Amino acid sequence: MGLFARIVGLESIPPGLWSDEANHGLEANDIMAGARVPLFFPGNCGQEPLFKYMVTALTRFLGPGVTTLRLASAISGWLLLPLAWVWLKRHRGTKHATIALFFLVFGVWHIQFSRIAFRAILGPSLGLLSLLAVDFYRKRGTVVSGGVAGICAGLLWYVYPAFRLFPLVTLLWLFLSFREEKGRRLRAAIPFLLGFVLCLLPLVLAWRANPELLTARASMAAIWNETGDLIPGLIRNTWRHIGMFTVSGDNNWRHNLSGAPQLDVVTGFFFLVGLIVAVSRRHRVDLLLLSWLALRRRSQG
Could you state, in order of their start, the residue ranges of all structural domains in the chain?
2-217, 222-300
Q: Long-range contacts for 287-295 (Cβ within 8 Å, ≥24 apart)?
A: 287/172, 287/176, 288/131, 288/169, 288/172, 288/173, 288/176, 291/168, 291/169, 291/172, 292/127, 292/166, 292/169, 295/165, 295/166, 295/168, 295/169
Q: For the chain, what's the residue count? A: 301
Mean pLDDT, the chain, integer: 85
Asked whether the CA dihedral 289, 291, 295, 298 is positive or negative, the reply is positive
Please tell me the distance from the alpha carbon of residue 274 to that of residue 73, in angstroms, as a whole number: 29
Separation CA 177–CA 203 (nearest Å):
29
CB 73 within 8 A of CB 117: yes
Q: Report the sign of the C-alpha dihedral through residues 197, 201, 202, 208, in that order.
A: positive
Question: What are the b/e assignments for 114-131, b being 16+ CB within 10 Å?
Answer: bbbbbbbbbbbbbbbbbb
Which DSSP category does 41 fall into? Answer: B
Structure confidence at residue 244 (pLDDT): 77
Q: Coil, helix or strand for 47?
A: strand
Residue 63 has pLDDT above 70, yes or no: yes
Q: In this model, does residue 166 exceed pLDDT 80?
A: yes
Please give the residue that has the higher pLDDT: either 280 or 149.
149
Instruction: Give dist(CA 272, CA 72) in Å, integer.
Output: 32
pLDDT, average across residues 119-140:
94
d(CA 298, CA 301): 5
Q: What is the pLDDT of residues 213-234, one digit of tens each?
A: 766 666 666 665 666 666 776 7
Tell me how far apart the alpha carbons of residues 119 and 291 are, in angstroms, rounded to a whole number. 23
Specify burial of residue 228 (Cβ count, 10 A radius: 0-12, 13-18, 19+): exposed
* Mean pLDDT, residues 264-284: 85
In three-state secondary structure terms, 18 is: coil
d(CA 8, CA 103): 19
Q: Model's pTM, two decimal places?
A: 0.88
